[in-house]
């Protein structure tokens, strides 16, 4: 999970909750399954590295500006 890949605290909190749910699911598995199970980690929903591109930054700033209005 990257700290600088999205704009807005709400987006970060949302994606961190997704990651924590996946982690809790993993930790609740028996040790024997942890070794062999193919656990699927969900991708961030509100944050992405595409926001770091020039176009992504522009779109992210537009969303931030709209959210403040």
Q: What is the DSSP string of the chain?
A: --SSSSSSHHHHHHHHHHHHHHHHHHHTS-HHHHHH----PPPPSS--GGGGSHHHHHHHHHHHHHHH-
Return the pLDDT at 9.
84
Residue 23: CA count within 13 A, CB half-sphere = 7
- pLDDT digit string, tens, across residues 8-40: 888 888 888 998 999 998 899 888 888 877 777
Looking at residue 39, its pLDDT comes to 72
**Per-residue model confidence as pLDDT tens digits over 36-62:** 777 778 888 777 665 555 555 555 545
Per domain, the residue ranges of the chain are 9-68
Report pTM.
Answer: 0.58
């Amino acid at each position: 999970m990257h700290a600088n890949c999205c704009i807005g605290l709400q987006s970060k909190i949302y994606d961190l909750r997704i990651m924590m749910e996946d982690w809790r699911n993993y930790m609740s598995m028996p040790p024997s399954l942890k070794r062999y199970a193919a656990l699927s980690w969900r991708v961030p929903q509100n944050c992405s590295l595409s926001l770091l591109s020039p176009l992504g930054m522009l779109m992210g700033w537009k969303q931030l500006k709209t959210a403040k209005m």
